[in-house]
Amino acid sequence: MDQAPTRIPIACSLTAQDLTDRGAAWRKLLEISLVAADRIPGGIRLSVHPGSAGSLRDLVALERECCPWIRSRLDGSGVTFTAQGAGEAALVEMFSAVPGVRPRESPQ
């Protein structure tokens, strides 16, 4: 018998201060090292200068700990973040200040 896929709730385990600190770390990295940011089906793709790959790897590892509902694929100096269902909108909102990541507007 097939089982339904396990749903992971959209939740963050960070305290308010941790969330502020994490956001600051992402902003710092992306302000100085962002090469490209793109919306992709299901999420976003971020690329940084190769010299910042270690910092990117560290932040992705932290995100994996606190937000298991986000799938991440790290490859060198780039990362792809995706999520299912409402998670996609939450993920895009998390990085909405990054040019290229903003939610797509529906045609009028």
Give 15-73 pLDDT, tens digit per residue. Answer: 888 888 988 999 999 999 999 999 999 999 999 999 999 999 999 999 998 888 899 99
Q: Hey, what's the torsion of the CAs at 44, 50, 53, 55, to 10 degrees?
A: -100
pTM above 0.85, yes or no: no
Tell which residue, 15, 98, 103, 25, has the closest CA to residue 58.
Answer: 25
Total number of residues shown for the chain = 108
Report the SS3 class of residue 107. coil
pLDDT band at 106 (very low <50, low <70, confident <90, very high): very low
Rg (CA), the chain: 14
Residue ranges covered by each domain of the chain: 34-94
Task: Determine the angle formed by the axes of helices 53-66 and 16-33, rounding to 10 degrees.
Answer: 150
